[in-house]
């Protein structure tokens, strides 16, 4: 078997890490106000793009190192079963194309988004250590704080609302996002 330079595997590790860090940090604050759907589609496109980059880098790293390991634990099985359920739902849907792409429906509820999130889980679980997961939690908390500050500023100054309520999409959405993230981030930061 041909030996590849060690820097290429290290470089692929960096590509994986930066793609995942970018996804975790950018998705809560990402929006493009000049498009017809400022939030949903743009967040899905960013998620899919960064997940594809991380997945291909992970596959190339596995090929170069000669090691492929998929976790066989309850969480991985649950993610796999959830994806299979989504796939079957899309296949037997009245609108399979809309269910796959999410267009003209909500793109966040599409099979493409579910596939990207499933791939993201497997890449993270195979490449990240507990220390790197702590970095991800910190980035998510920082990004959520920025999203909450944007929501606060937009709610106080209604003159700047060019269709922007906040970067999550609605005030109810930012409330649920904050309510779920606060205890999760506290527990994960304490344990890490």
Encode pLDDT of 18-73 as tens digits: 999 999 999 888 877 777 777 778 888 899 999 999 999 999 888 887 777 777 88
CA dihedral 86, 87, 90, 91 (to 10 degrees): -150
pLDDT at res. 185? 74
User: Quick one: which of 132, 166, 134 has its CA closest to 149?
Assistant: 166
pLDDT at res. 4? 56
pTM of the model: 0.82
CA dihedral 179, 187, 86, 23 (to 10 degrees): 80
pLDDT at res. 82? 92
Reported confidence tier of residue 7, pLDDT bands at 50, 70, 90: low
Encode pLDDT of 89-136 as tens digits: 889 988 888 788 777 767 777 888 899 999 999 999 888 888 888 888
């Amino acid at each position: 078997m041909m030996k590849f330079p060690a820097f290429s595997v290290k470089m692929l590790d960096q590509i994986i890490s930066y793609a995942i860090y970018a996804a975790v940090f950018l998705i809560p604050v990402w929006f493009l106000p000049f498009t017809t759907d400022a939030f949903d589609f743009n967040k899905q496109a960013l998620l899919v793009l960064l997940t594809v980059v991380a997945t291909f880098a992970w596959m190339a790293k596995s090929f170069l190192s000669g090691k492929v390991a998929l976790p066989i634990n309850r969480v991985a099985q649950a993610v796999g079963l959830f994806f299979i359920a989504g796939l079957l739902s899309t296949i037997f849907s009245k609108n399979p194309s809309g269910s796959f792409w999410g267009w003209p429906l909500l793109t966040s509820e599409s099979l493409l988004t579910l596939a990207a999130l499933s791939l993201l889980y497997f890449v993270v679980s195979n490449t990240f250590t507990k220390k790197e997961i702590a970095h991800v939690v910190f980035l998510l908390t920082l990004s959520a704080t920025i999203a909450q500050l944007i929501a606060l500023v937009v709610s106080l100054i209604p003159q700047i609302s060019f269709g922007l309520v906040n970067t999550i999409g609605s005030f109810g959405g930012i409330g649920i996002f904050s309510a779920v993230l606060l205890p999760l981030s506290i527990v994960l930061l304490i344990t890490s």
